[in-house]
Amino acid sequence: MTDTLLEIDRLSVDYETARGDLKALRDISFDVRKGEIVGIVGESGCGKSTLISSILRLTAPNTRFRQGEVRFRGEDLLQLPERKMRDLRGADISIVFQDPMQTHNPVLSIGQQMLDIQHRSKASKADKRARAAQMLGAVGIPDPEARLDQFPHEFSGGMRQRIAIAMALMSEPDLLIADEPTTALDATLEVQIIERLQELQQEFDCAILFISHHLGVIAELCDRVVVMYAGAVVESGEVREIFHDPKHPYTRRLIDCDPGHIKERARVLPTIPGEVPDLANLPGGCIFRDRCDQAMPRCAAEVPPLEQLKDGHQAACWLNHKEAAE
Ligand SMILES: Nc1ncnc2c1ncn2[C@@H]1O[C@H](COP(=O)(O)OP(=O)(O)OP(=O)(O)O)[C@@H](O)[C@H]1O
């Protein structure tokens, strides 16, 4: 029996625009095993949101799936009837957004919203309420029973995010997608949410796909990391391995920008000079070469393939080839 839960297999996604097809995802492959925490890191525009919306099949109308599969428990979600997909969303696969207000209905009490989530359950209303309070307690909301009757605006931003996590976990999903859930929070709250997610992952034994543009946060939480640049995977592997021995100049630059433990991290981070290339007019060769201080003639001529370097460590860079040394 395989322990693979989610397999993204050679996924390519375009957006049709007036300027031509914008290549938002190109040949993306990676997997998430049961109970594992995998981080996706990259700058704004690298395709993180497109990846999440493709997994959940909640894409914009101008999206075109060019190739590839999104297999969840072995089944290609891109081929699933919409009805089955609806059953899956929020039950087997849940999501926590950057802004918890995307989850909360401002005019309903938190308790009512947590009852609504349990609409499929045959339990009594009292039992559902008890379960809602238990979940609030699990994410660290004090006095959860009383707070069920309060409305979203009566909670702080950090608490609202905890409640969004509680709601996402109520169905005991196999996969929780966390889309930059801590980006809008200050550093102390960010640390608290990360630590809580770690505990909850153990308690609920769910896998987490954690999206962030901060490598420091990924290092804190994740087992493995997938580094994306301009719609492609440029490096992936165990977090420890990637941090100690990055094999792509882009990853190195991300680490330089965000080196430390999130508890010590300066809030104003240096950025990588230059811009992500125009995805509607991609240059030939390596997509990072214009921003790379180690670019060689070969980088303009040929696209470096994503290659297996060590066990589970992959990178797409000509510097890892013997001829680079010459
Ligand atoms: N519906 C759309 N039509 C055309 N282009 C789009 C559409 N949605 C996103 N894009 C473009 O696709 C590329 C990838 O966008 P995406 O939102 O997936 O990146 P991201 O890494 O999530 O960025 P951010 O962190 O800013 O959300 C960007 O160039 C973006 O401008």
Give the model confidence (pLDDT) of 116-141 as tens digits. Answer: 999 888 999 999 999 999 999 999 99
Residue nearest to atom 29 of ligand 1 (CA): 45
Which residue, among 75, 3, 67, has the nearest Cα to 32 in the 3D structure?
A: 3
Three-state DSSP class for residue 288: coil
Q: How far is the CA of 227 from the centre of ligand 1 (A)?
A: 16
pLDDT value for 270: 56
Residue with tokens 């070469």: 289
Last residue of a domain, one of 170, 201, 225: 170
Average pLDDT over residues 292-311: 93
pLDDT value for 267: 46
| DSSP state letters, 87-140 | HHBTTTEEEE-SSGGGT--TTS-HHHHHHHHTTT--S-HHHHHHHHHHHHHHTT
pLDDT value for 302: 94
DSSP β-ladder status, 20-33 and 232-238: unpaired
Distance CA(198)–CA(193), nearest Å, equals 9
Three-state DSSP class for residue 294: coil
Structural domains counted in the chain: 2
Whether residue 1 is predicted with pLDDT greater than 70 in this model: the reply is no
Whether residue 325 is predicted with pLDDT greater than 80 in this model: the reply is no
Tell me what the pLDDT averaged over the chain comes to.
90
Are residues 103 and 251 located together in one domain of the fold?
no
Distance CA(42)–CA(39), nearest Å, equals 10
DSSP β-ladder status, 37-41 and 224-229: parallel
Ligand 1, closest atom to CA 228? Answer: 21
Distance CA(42)–CA(12), nearest Å, equals 17
pLDDT value for 247: 96
Are residues 11 and 115 located together in one domain of the fold?
no
pLDDT digits (tens, 9 = 90+) for 165-200: 999 999 999 999 999 988 878 888 888 889 889 999
Are residues 219 and 77 located together in one domain of the fold?
yes
Are residues 206 and 220 located together in one domain of the fold?
yes
Are residues 233 and 115 located together in one domain of the fold?
no
Q: How far is the CA of 23 from the centre of ligand 1 (A)?
A: 10
Token code pair at residue 51: 């990846």
Distance of CA 103 to the CA centre of its chain: 17
pLDDT digits (tens, 9 = 90+) for 250-259: 999 888 876 5
> From residue 130, how far is each of 66, 84, 90, 118, 150 by CA, in Å?
46, 29, 20, 12, 15
Residue 34 near residue 1 (C-beta atoms within 8 A) = no
Are residues 305 and 214 located together in one domain of the fold?
yes
Are residues 251 and 312 located together in one domain of the fold?
yes
Are residues 237 and 152 located together in one domain of the fold?
no
CA diameter of the chain: 72
Question: Which residue range(s) make up the domain with 108?
Answer: 96-170
> What number of CA atoms fall less than 13 Å from residue 207's CA on the CB side?
22
Residue whose CB lies within 8 A of the most ligand 1 atoms, among 16, 43, 46, 226, for a mutation test: 46
Counting Cβ atoms within 10 Å, is residue 172 exposed (0-12), middle (13-18) or buried (19+)?
exposed
Residue 231 near residue 279 (C-beta atoms within 8 A) = yes
Percent of the chain scoring above 90 in pLDDT:
71
Three-state DSSP class for residue 76: strand
pLDDT value for 268: 47
Token code pair at residue 102: 């995307």
Residue 286's CATH number: 3.40.50.300
pTM reported for the whole predicted model: 0.91
Percent of the chain scoring above 70 in pLDDT:
94
pLDDT value for 96: 93
Average pLDDT over residues 1-25: 94
pLDDT digits (tens, 9 = 90+) for 188-247: 888 888 988 999 999 989 999 999 988 888 888 999 999 999 999 999 999 999 988 999
Q: Is 61 in the pocket of ligand 1 (CB under 6 A)?
A: no
Are residues 197 and 179 located together in one domain of the fold?
yes
Are residues 104 and 88 located together in one domain of the fold?
no
Are residues 179 and 232 located together in one domain of the fold?
yes
pLDDT digits (tens, 9 = 90+) for 85-127: 999 998 999 999 988 888 889 999 999 999 999 988 899 999 9
Are residues 190 and 272 located together in one domain of the fold?
yes
Which residue, among 39, 97, 47, 48, has the nearest Cα to 218 in the 3D structure?
A: 39
Last residue of a domain, one of 170, 202, 222: 170
Token code pair at residue 227: 């580094």
DSSP 260: S
Radius of gyration of the chain (CA): 21
Token code pair at residue 29: 């492959």
Which residue, among 6, 167, 43, has the nearest Cα to 94 in the 3D structure?
A: 167
Token code pair at residue 278: 């125009």
Last residue of a domain, one of 139, 170, 201: 170
pLDDT value for 44: 87
Residue 112 near residue 153 (C-beta atoms within 8 A) = no
Residue whose CB lies within 8 A of the most ligand 1 atoms, among 44, 98, 213, for a mutation test: 44
